[in-house]
Amino acid sequence: MTGCVRPGAARIALRDVEPWAAESRLVPVPNLGELERAVMERLWAAPGSLTARDVQEGLTTNPATTTVLTVLGRLQRKGLVTRERDGRAHHYRAVGSREDHVAELMNVALDTAADRSAALARFVGSIPPEERARLRDLLD
């Protein structure tokens, strides 16, 4: 995996993360607030797109619909959510999977290390043996 960092913005090259990645682009990895994360968890768990009301009904904190719409708008501007109009309602869908987001966060974390190889070695040493074996399988 190859990552790059530009001053002021953490970015990674998706073209080097997965061979099946359709687009070669740099994407920012936004920080998520508590409600943003809850909304993303709801979208990631959904089998399809959701309306703001669908998202709201799945949240445990019971925010107002206008609050959910504001959060969805912020997530759309951050590039994590797409919006499609269907009659009077908008339907929202996560751009990538939860795993895509976690992989981007891991890459950003590695980019902050002074010695990326040492950080990788410590990470690999800290995970259970079955996960190390899975990593070996993925690298072969």
Give the helix/strand (H/E) hosting 106.
Answer: helix 98-111
Average pLDDT of adjacent 10-residue blocks, the chain of 140 residues: 36 36 44 91 95 94 94 94 93 94 88 91 92 91
Domain of residue 25, residue span: 1-30
CB 35 within 8 A of CB 125: no
- Domain assignment present for residue 40? The answer is yes
- Domain assignment present for residue 128? The answer is no
What is the number of structural domains in the chain?
2
Supply the pLDDT for residue 108. Answer: 87
- Domain assignment present for residue 132? The answer is no
Residues 3 and 47 placed together within one structural domain of the fold: no
Residues 78 and 52 placed together within one structural domain of the fold: yes
Name which of 8, 73, 9, 79 is nearest 35 in CA terms: 73
Single pTM value for the model: 0.69
Supply the pLDDT for residue 30. Answer: 64
CATH number of the domain bearing residue 62: 1.10.10.10
